[in-house]
A and B are shown apart, each in its own frame.
Chain A
Amino acid sequence: MMTSDPSDPPPTASEQVQILFVRHQGAIRAFVRGLQPSLADADDILQETFLTISRKAETFENGSNFVSWACSIARLKVLEHYRQHKRATVLSEAAVHALADDFPTEKWIEQRETALMKCLEKIAPKTRNLIWRRYNQQQTSEEMASDCGMSAMAVRVALTKARAYLRDCVASELQKIS
């Protein structure tokens, strides 16, 4: 193969943070989902965060903690979103800041991800089906109730129980490892 022109210009700062975003998206997304329970809103905030870090890429110091930097921007986006929608049924700004300050590490998240996959296997197919409808299809309790021949209340209770079970199961799996 023939060599030709000198190499392309080096990557821009924006391209570099975008690559870092791809690599660490799991943790950043977990952060946003934790503070913004609405899936659709969380997706919007994640996208806005991506655009903002691209614009502010020059302010990121190479070698510093990228997740921490990206989450500080995501935190502001969450609060911005809260203010725009002015809901009284969400957490206070002080609570959001307190939670953001205590956000777990990437390793903490990865450990739970692994454990959760194990725990999901232990769930009955019917409950797994409800989880899929809730998180993939984003069905409401009423829609799930209609599709699955249950009452909406029974659906809500089943999902709450399933999540509680998964939380305990994950804790138990992590204890086994430690």
Chain B
Amino acid sequence: MKRNELDQLIDDCLESRLSETDAAWLSAEIEKSAEARSRYWEAAMIHGLLDQAMQQSSLRVISGQDAPQGKRRTPWLFASAAAAVLAIGLTWWFMGNEPSSEVPVATVLFTDQCEWQQPENVIEGERLEPQRLVLRKGMAIVRFDGGAEMVIQGNTELELLSATKAGLLRGDVVVRAENDAAGFVLDTPSASLLDLGTEFAVKVDPSQATELHVTEGEVAYAQHGVTTVLPAGKSVRLDASQQAKMIENSAPRFGQLIRQANPQDQPKSIMAYHGFQFDEGSYSPEKISGGKGWAGPWRTRHDQEMRIVHGQQILPWRMNRGTVGMLELPTGQYECRRLMSQPVEMKQRGVTYFSFITHNPSALTEKTSPQQDSLRFTFVSSTDAANSFLSFGYGMDQMPFITAATFGTEHSLSPIPAGQNLLWIGKIIRRPKGDDEVFFRIYGQMEELDFAEPKTWHVNFHRVKMNAALDVLTISSNSTNPHMVDEIRIGTTWRSIVPISLFRKTNP
């Protein structure tokens, strides 16, 4: 049998569309030929791995979205613990990198009065590569790419090993690894702990003894080559000689620590803001000034007027300011831009977030799709516009995308929520060495915001490398319906662009 015929039969088999004759042919070939069996497993593995990657991508890409419910069932086993292996695959799918020491494995979600010994400084929103963290004072929350979240309290020394594994050398941590994050491994000098879908606290004292407190679910720990499963409400102390003693369960809860830290808005970290607080009417662009962090008024292509409208605000996201006035982007092609005082310096280490609200009145009422509908928000260099820009938007297919000049475009797998007001949030991670990373998510009005950035972004663009200063913000549209834009915020932390005090969940 020729190789392409064999491949076709194998593909048909794996797609469950073999005829009776073909099934007999393929079976005979597999029974007698080692090459056929090897070829079969090569193809079967593509199916199997795609299945795993796509199953996980649904969790990341669709979570919180109005995407149609598929037929995929989630076996109870996966739902509880076993998705750990798959989570690693997912990370790679979005990371687009092989795991290595240069590949980030975690994100800093929150810092509170932190004094770091190693590295010298850790900033909110930053991505962390495998490395040792030494926190002298304060509290930090880190999310591993495998999904586990960890509260680190000073004085703690922690080794980040991978997206699903860390080593605690001394100090206190609390780990929350729910559902798809299960399988997180924490090694200590006296034990290896395997999370089975749970929340637990670990303390390593100066004598290198480990205290494990399970507050929810189960944790397995290995001792003398034997694995023990510790259920919720139980605690154990494992000393350096690996003697186990049950102790009182008195660990703090993850949510309790966050409430104690009391994350606040960070208005001081806003680099630029505009709320279009003008009287209703049409203005020449130079009249639309004001706001914060701009180096001049708005400009429009062909000096088109800018129109401010009132009474359009149907905002599920209450904002501190800007309750009156929105910028209307008219039908047809339209573009306005504004020079920022403080550019997004791509060659400097740092994190930039942005958010703004869009409102499309016709999308809320019309059942048919517009003939033309695209909207784009772009950071661009005033000196090298063709080669230095980062663009966030969606087109006629309603799929959010990020375009990075000369690096191409990454699309979301799921469309924007239909017929809703939208909150756009983007994140740019800048690194002088190593790749930049860019993330984008469009929130529908029923989606909740939390004290920290989401686990799931709709678009993840890795391997971007830019050195320019992106100093101009451009908003462009081409639609048969007008769009409203409001509350543009550009800042250095999640908390500066999302007013969390208004949204904070009652029980974080």
Please give the residue numbers on chain A whose beta carbons come within 8 Å of chain B beta carbons, in ascending order. Answer: 1-8, 10-11, 15-16, 19, 21-26, 29-30, 33-35, 37-40, 43, 46-47, 50, 88-92, 94-95, 98-99, 102-104, 109, 112-114, 116-118, 120-121, 125, 128-129, 131-132, 134-139, 156, 159-160, 163-164, 166-167, 170-171
Please give the residue numbers on chain B whose beta carbons come within 8 Å of chain A beta carbons, in ascending order. Answer: 7-8, 11, 13-16, 18-20, 22-24, 26-28, 30-31, 34, 37-38, 40-55, 57-58, 68, 70-73, 75-77, 81-82, 84-86, 89, 92-93, 95-99, 182-183, 194, 196, 211, 220, 226-230, 234-237, 244-248, 250, 399, 409, 411, 413
Main SS class of interface, A? helix
Query: A115 CB to closest chain B CB, in angstroms?
Result: 9
A34 and B48 contact, Cβ closer than 8 Å, known pairs A3-B247, A11-B226, A131-B54: yes
Q: Which residue of B lies closest to A109 (CB)?
A: B45
> Is A164 within 8 A of B7, CB to CB?
yes
Q: A85 CA to B236 CA in the complex, in Å?
A: 49
> Is B227 within 8 A of A19, CB to CB?
yes
Q: Which residue of B lies closest to A147 (CB)?
A: B68
Chain B residues whose C-beta falls within 8 Å of the C-beta of A134 in the assembled complex: 50, 54
A114 and B229 contact, Cβ closer than 8 Å, known pairs A95-B26, A137-B70: no
Q: Which residue of B lies closest to A30 (CB)?
A: B48
Of B34, B48, B99, the contact of A29 (CB 8 Å cutoff) = B48
> Is A4 within 8 A of B248, CB to CB?
yes
Q: A109 CA to B230 CA in the complex, in Å?
A: 31
> Is A29 within 8 A of B413, CB to CB?
no
> Is A30 within 8 A of B45, CB to CB?
yes
Chain B residues whose C-beta falls within 8 Å of the C-beta of A102 in the assembled complex: 34, 37-38, 41
Chain A residues whose C-beta falls within 8 Å of the C-beta of B77 in the assembled complex: 25, 46-47, 50
Main SS class of interface, B? helix
- 19 interchain pairs (CB within 8 A)? A7-B236, A8-B234, A11-B220, A19-B227, A21-B82, A25-B77, A30-B49, A33-B51, A34-B45, A34-B47, A35-B44, A89-B19, A102-B38, A128-B413, A131-B54, A134-B54, A138-B70, A166-B50, A170-B46
Interface centre among B68, B98, B230 (most CB of A within 10 A): B98
Query: B43 CB to closest chain A CB, in angstroms?
Result: 6
Chain A residues whose C-beta falls within 8 Å of the C-beta of B68 in the assembled complex: 137
> Is A1 within 8 A of B58, CB to CB?
no
> Is A38 within 8 A of B16, CB to CB?
yes
> Is A15 within 8 A of B229, CB to CB?
yes
Chain A residues whose C-beta falls within 8 Å of the C-beta of B236 in the assembled complex: 7
Chain B residues whose C-beta falls within 8 Å of the C-beta of A90 in the assembled complex: 13, 18, 23
Q: Which residue of B lies closest to A125 (CB)?
A: B411
Query: B410 CB to closest chain A CB, in angstroms?
Result: 8
Query: B121 CB to closest chain A CB, in angstroms?
Result: 32
Task: Known pairs A40-B71, A46-B77, A89-B19; list 6 more (Cβ under 8 Å).
Answer: A30-B44, A89-B22, A117-B53, A138-B71, A164-B11, A167-B46
Chain B residues whose C-beta falls within 8 Å of the C-beta of A16 in the assembled complex: 226-227
> Is B38 within 8 A of A92, CB to CB?
no
> Is A104 within 8 A of B26, CB to CB?
no
Q: Which residue of A lies closest to B76 (CB)?
A: A47
Q: Which residue of B lies closest to A117 (CB)?
A: B92
> Is A104 within 8 A of B228, CB to CB?
no
Q: Which residue of B lies closest to A170 (CB)?
A: B46
Of A43, A92, A104, the contact of B24 (CB 8 Å cutoff) = A92
> Is A26 within 8 A of B85, CB to CB?
yes
Q: Which residue of B lies closest to A50 (CB)?
A: B77
Q: A49 CA to B85 CA in the complex, in Å?
A: 17
> Is B24 within 8 A of A136, CB to CB?
no
Query: B79 CB to closest chain A CB, in angstroms?
Result: 11
